[in-house]
Structure 1
Amino acid sequence: MFLKNQQSQKIDLLKLPPKTTIDADTIALLERLSLVDCANKKGIETLEAAIEFADQILQVDTTNIEPLITVLEDIPLRVREDKVTEGNCKEDILKNASVTEEEYFVAPPGNIPLEARENPLYEEELT
């Protein structure tokens, strides 16, 4: 019962944590935070499969592995001091906004609560 990752190291499925199951409260919270409808059988199966896949990272041996500074292996990351080169252009920047209020951008509302359902977990996909 082994899987192979991209580095050809074997993942021992017996050492993985128990399979995560998603309950109705967790689904309701995820839907409220993400505004994504996932309270159906396929959505829950996909979420559980993603968690199971991610659990494999617990077996990756990172001994003697330095933290990554840049994704470019052959090119060092160019570091420079932050210096303000322009300024006092608030009015020019706010001209780009379609709606402003008290010298701030007005963005669409964020997490809008979904309508509560009688059964937070339902079997059929909505069409």
Structure 2
Amino acid sequence: MKDVLKVIAAVLAAILLIALIWWAVWAISVATSGPKGQGDAVKINNSAQNWTEKQQKFEKLNAAVNTNKQLVTMHAARVATDPTDKTASQILAGVQSECIASVEAYNAESRKILSKDWKSPDLPYELTTAGCTTTK
């Protein structure tokens, strides 16, 4: 009977030891998660894949904004020639909306931690919605 109790006590002690080790590992991982996360972000940010993807993304976003501003100008001229053309007015409203959305997408990407460092030097930090709307 004493041997059975010793075995049970040893098994319980082993289970308790394993639980304590698991808890200690978890506590250490929680305590170091902040610095580890920051370090991981730096590694990802400096990776060649991130660098090339983000630079390409900024070029595409900037081109979309420029295209949308040109479309606003083009459709505004069409509306100006015939203010009664409802289709032209609706198209202009849609193009203006898309232009504003593309500016906001560029600006949002510009503020992201993993993106902002990789913008081409000739691109602005932020864009404005000037040119996305027309004055009457």
Alignment TM-score, normalising by the size of structure 1: 0.21
Ranked by relative contact order (alpha carbons within 8 Å, sequence separation 6 or more), the top structure is 1
Specify the structure having the higher radius of gyration (Cα). 2
Structure with the higher strand share, 1 or 2: 1
Alignment TM-score, normalising by the size of structure 2: 0.20
